[in-house]
Structure 1
Amino acid sequence: MNLIRPASLFTFFCFLSIFSAFAQSIPLKTRVDSLIKLNVPRKFNGVIAIAQSGKIIYSQNYGYSDFAQKTSFTEESQFILGSLSKQFTAVLVLQELDKGHLSLKDPIRKYLPDLKESWADSVTVHHLLNHTSGIVALDKPLSFKPGTKFSYSPLLCYQLLAQIAEKLSGKTYQELMKTLFEKCDMTNSTIPVAYKSGKLVSCYSEENDGTLALEKVKPEELGFATPGGGIISTKNDLIKWNEALHHGKLLKTNTYKLMATASSSREHARWGNIDYGYGLQIDKQDDILELSHSGALIGFISSNLYFPETETSIVILENIAWNFDNVIRTFFFHDQIRKIVKENLKR
């Protein structure tokens, strides 16, 4: 499949800026629909859900779940979430805090005594949660003193957190996630080792020439990636997740505040400097508090954003990993929908 590329991105972005100036009076649904139909700087291929107070106010699917079969998405189409998975694992660990089973200031060796690395005596649970551990790999020294800077850990730190949750609860990660999904009424969500539904969409990666290559993903082979990037879910289940997480159903009030309060900061590739809590990005651009995360893993990209002051959720899931040489283009529709919703919130 060949992708449409604009003759001039500069011209397009100029048009978009001018259009945005008077478009705020147009209904949200019309604005999002019009944006998607532009098909530039690339096509959108995936699903979108926007909700307020748990009620869906916008839900659309665009493109194909399988290009070879020309199969459309359904409300039960499942996607691999990438780093959106981190907030689920963070909750499992924080639930152990609620039970009095751990302290965030404890070195991780207290809970994982079999770790051979010397840094297990200086890295704490807190450091793992907010990406300030300095861990590079199990067999390598730390890249910096824990707690002194932010360095994003795609998978390893959250794998260690999952092991801590297992150790303290006496349950497997699979059992813990099953209970968590049930509590949130997430009936179409699972983890790779338990995947059975057959509803996982086909996924693709964009090649340098703009064509799409099918990724042959086998969920059962994603075990290590699961706590930090491998959870499988749907757009509607993620809306349910936001409602449960941000309305006190999963954590005690003070524990949730720890999760959603800045404890480190990062230079975001698209948004500039933003804060980070536990599995959540925290931003207050335009004086609108936003708790969010994006994800990318083997043929999938995703975004989950929540605005507490208006109880607004945005979930965007695509089954194409667009070329990451231009990350602004890759997440273009995600960021533009975010912008539209934020402008709508200010009206």
Structure 2
Amino acid sequence: MNWLKTLCVGVVVAWVCVGPAAEAASQRQELDRLITKYQQMNQFNGSVLVANEKGVILEKGYGFANFEWQVANTPDTKFRIGSVTKQFTSMVIMQLVAEGKLQVEDPVTKYLPDYRKDTGDRITIAHLLNHTSGLPNYTNPTFFKTASRDPYTVADFVKKFCSGDLEFEPGTKFNYSNSGYFLLGAVIEKVTGQTYAQTLQQRIFDPVGMKNTGYDVSATVLPKRASGYEAQPGGYVNAPYLDMGLPYAAGSMYSTVQDLYRWDRALYEDKLLPAPLKQRMFTTALDDYAFGWHVGPIKLHDGKTEVATISHSGGINGFSALFVRAPERKEVVVLLDNTARGSKLMAMATGALSILHGIPPKQPQASIGEVVMATLEKSSAAEAIARYRTLKTTKATEYDFAERELNNVGYRLLGSGRVAEAIEIFKLNVEMFPGEGNVYDSLGEAYLAGGNKEQALVNYRRAVELNPKNTSAAETVKRLEQPAATR
């Protein structure tokens, strides 16, 4: 009898030990199947890491880091991470606050005395951190067409691109502005006496052990660096060159999924920043944005379960990134892509979190945008639009008909100089989503690119009516309403 009891206890112990491992293996397989489907449908190409409080469940590369040489992506492939950089800028600022070297309520001019006083005296460090400064965003279409390839010193760039007239009174509205984070980099250099890159290395990368993360410099021969690609009519092309000094403190970092996992785990400790200041960093102001982080719930794929998350996305020529933390169960999803497929990353992350919570994930749908683009390569815009209408009527559940699908096609056409076709695609999107301000904004931009300022104004006005927070469209309306001589 005692022998039987001992055997039973042993079986129970074995089951308890094997159970979590079996669950992790099952989740790993389901996650891998989901990501593989996205990759097979040309909706993702990059590296993935998914973890919970017990550790890493999946870390794997999908597709190629370099298409020319067919070099595979791996968990230690280095990707440009774009605006995910902002959380590191925010951390350095808050470290300086902890050391008494600055205050977030201080005006910009206290640290940048050469900055224009009429606006700089009204903009605080906090306004820059949470995108409520009113500064125009320098990363607009004109910038990418004219200045994005040219090197600038920090001081010269601030003067030319980050010193514009305010779009609204600081603190009254949210408007995402890379210009504000560029200024934060200048403040960091002024206060520390070091370059922004040196400060990141000493204050974050070295202490956390992020050996495969850094400030990107195009000229550097960087082992395991992914090449960036963009989808164009006919297939992928190498992404346009961008001087990596220009994204600066707003978006110039590279990293790996493994290093971002190390960063995630470090944020649960208080070694980098005291807990009260870390809480301040994660506290939102307007539009669910804190200091370098989006904070808000994600609804999982059962349509009802919500998970509290802290996250940020990033996009830069040829690259897309998404870093999602769910602190309650120490879950994290890191997605780094080198084909600019940012529009699919949130759906992938939500699917991954759903799997971790035992909820079946939604499977990826074929991209209607890719069908439209392929039709445009062989035929006319009229034929592509007809194809769209037919599939929407007959196979609505098989394809993704989200607003972003046609929007992406329109911008791909604009980028390749096919303005007339872009206008037709954007007009179709307006027809499909008449209540969405973004579709009118895009159509207005296309009309403006084609020289039709009257129709551009009509659509920009409608964009502002539907979304009064669209300050960029509002500024365009003001500019187009000015008399021609003044403009």
Q: Fold-level match, TM-score > 0.5?
A: yes
Structure 1 340/178 Cα, relative in aligned 2: closer, same or farther at 3 Å?
Answer: closer
- Range that drifts further, 161-170 or 118-127: 161-170
Report what 2:364 is aligned to.
Answer: none
Percent same amino acid at aligned positions?
31
- 8 Å contact kept, 1:28–1:340: no
The match for 2:280 among 258, 266, 280 is 258
**Higher RCO (Cα < 8 Å, 6 or more apart):** 1
How big is the shift at 1:263? 1.5
Structure 1 36/342 Cα, relative in aligned 2: closer, same or farther at 3 Å?
Answer: closer
Aligned residues: 304
Partner AA of 1:231 in structure 2? M
Distance 1:343 1:35 in 2: 10
SS of structure 2 residue aligned to 1:261: coil
1:51 maps onto 2:64 in alignment: no
The match for 1:249 among 258, 265, 271 is 271
SS of structure 2 residue aligned to 1:338: helix
Partner AA of 1:33 in structure 2? D
The match for 1:201 among 226, 243, 250 is 226
Partner AA of 1:113 in structure 2? P
How big is the shift at 1:134? 0.4
Report what 1:178 is aligned to.
Answer: 201
Distance 1:71 1:48 in 2: 16
Greater fraction of residues in helix? 2
Partner AA of 1:124 in structure 2? T
- 8 Å contact kept, 2:32–2:58: no
Report what 1:272 is aligned to.
Answer: none
Query: Equivalences for 1:332-347 in 2 at 5 Å?
Result: 332-342=344-354, 344-345=356-357
How big is the shift at 1:106? 1.0
Query: Equivalences for 1:20-99 in 2 at 5 Å?
Result: 27-39=26-38, 42-53=42-53, 55-99=55-99
SS of structure 1 residue aligned to 2:311: strand
Greater fraction of residues in strand? 1
Structure 1 334/41 Cα, relative in aligned 2: closer, same or farther at 3 Å?
Answer: farther
Report what 2:255 is aligned to.
Answer: 233
4+ residue runs of structure 1 moved beyond 3 angstroms? 24-27, 39-43, 193-196
- 8 Å contact kept, 1:310–1:345: no
Query: Equivalences for 1:1-347 in 2 at 5 Å?
Result: 27-39=26-38, 42-53=42-53, 55-116=55-116, 118-136=118-136, 137-153=161-177, 155-179=178-202, 180-193=204-217, 195-207=220-232, 209=233, 211-215=235-239, 217=241, 221-265=243-287, 275-285=288-298, 286-322=305-341, 330-342=342-354, 344-345=356-357
Partner AA of 2:188 in structure 1? A
Distance 1:118 1:139 in 2: 10
RMSD (Å) for aligned C-alpha atoms: 2.3
Distance 2:130 2:356 in 1: 31
Deviations 1:211-246 (Å, cap 9, x if unpaired)? 11112647xx31121211110111100000111123
Distance 1:26 1:315 in 2: 19
SS of structure 1 residue aligned to 2:51: strand
How big is the shift at 1:162? 1.1
How big is the shift at 1:333? 4.4
- Which residues of structure 1 form unaligned runs of 5+? 1-23, 266-274, 323-329
Structure 1 231/250 Cα, relative in aligned 2: closer, same or farther at 3 Å?
Answer: same
TM-score, normalised on structure 2?
Answer: 0.59
Partner AA of 2:31 in structure 1? V
